[in-house]
Amino acid sequence: MDSIQKKLLAEVADLHDVPQGAYSLRINGSLYGKNSSENIEIVAKTDKPGIDIYVKAGTKNESLHIPVILSQSGLKELVYNDFHIGEDCDVTIVAGCGIHNGGDAASEHSGIHAFYVSKNAKIKYVEKHYGQGDGNGENIMNPTTYVELAENAHMEMETVQIKGVDSTYRKTVAKVSKNATLVVHEKIMTHGKQVADTEFEVELNGENSGTHVISRAVARDQSKQKFLSVIKGNNKCSGHTECDAIIMDNATVAAIPEILAVNPDASLIHEAAIGKIAGEQLIKLMTLGLTEKEAEEEIVNGFLR
């Protein structure tokens, strides 16, 4: 790994080198290295790019890292990763993609992740997207996440895209069974002429299933964001979707929450708020000695923390 690749790895996975335990590291379109552990088996797919991950039933307190690094300009790839999580697991999965584009051609990574989470399993999925580079080529990332939660399963998904991604279309589709819950925290910041479209579609199919889909977004400069969230209550369930956005400069933000109840015991809530930074917040921080610009940064960083 060169220094650029190491920096990207640190940005997206907080790693300074190849991690301990189970991992799969993909650099510039091919598998750089992978390691299975006793309980987590990683198998390269033979029919298409990507891996299958099998987590043994009962695996607790283990983590898996699957970062992707692109430092070669103009590279385009489509990768399929399938996660088969056994019953009663409690694991953390850290994914992420970092692109350094120093050329003029667009670099693009599209990751299609499918999670099959068995009964009583609990997973935390963290996904960070980051782009950099001094070339004119765009950094494009289009992640698709498909989730199936079996009875009593719980998944917490944290997605972060703070910097340098020129164009993204993120789609998450989930089906939630009896007593299972899905919690999503999405944080997005766009700047320049970036475009970010994000879509969630959660079907609450089981009795007492639940979801929270929460997005915090900051749109600066001329960037454009669209947040679409659809929650379907097909059973006795509870669903909540929230989009909270700070709009700055000449940016555009659209928030389209949709809730659909087809069962009288479905309880669904949507909230969406878009607005600029409150003047009184800026004034408060300025009375502490910050300049307006510093105050703005502090407020945005806190909001996206």
Partner 1 sequence: MLEFRNVSYSVAGKDILKNINLTIDDRFVAITGPNGSGKSTMAKLIAGIIKPTEGSILMDGVDITDLSITERAKAGISFAFQQPVRFKGITVRDLISLAAGKSTSIAEACSYLSEVGLCAKDYVNREVDASLSGGELKRIEIAMINARGTKLSVFDEPEAGIDLWSFNNLIKVFEKMHERTKGTIIIISHQERILNISDKIIVLANGGVAEYGDREEVFPKLMDVRSGCNFTKNS
Footprint on this chain of partner 1 (rule: CB under 8 A): 216, 244, 278, 280-281, 283-292, 298-299, 301-305
Q: Measure the CA–CA gap between 112 and 82, rounded to whole angstroms.
A: 8
Output 80 or 303, the one with its CB closest to partner 1.
303
Output 186 or 203, the one with its CB closest to partner 1.
186
Task: Please report, for residues 115, 127, 153, 286, the alpha-carbon distance to residue 209 in angstroms, rounded to integers and kept in the order given.
Answer: 17, 24, 10, 45
The least CB distance from residue 264 to partner 1, in Å, is 31
β-strand partners of 163? 130
The least CB distance from residue 189 to partner 1, in Å, is 13
Closest CA to 244 of 201, 205, 285, 189: 189
Output 269 or 286, the one with its CB closest to partner 1.
286
Task: Please report, for residues 5, 194, 254, the alpha-carbon distance to residue 228 in angstroms, rounded to integers and kept in the order given.
Answer: 33, 17, 8
The least CB distance from residue 279 to partner 1, in Å, is 10
Closest CA to 83 of 149, 141, 31, 133: 149
The least CB distance from residue 277 to partner 1, in Å, is 10
Q: Measure the CA–CA gap between 63 and 93, rounded to whole angstroms.
A: 6
The least CB distance from residue 298 to partner 1, in Å, is 7
Output 44 or 286, the one with its CB closest to partner 1.
286
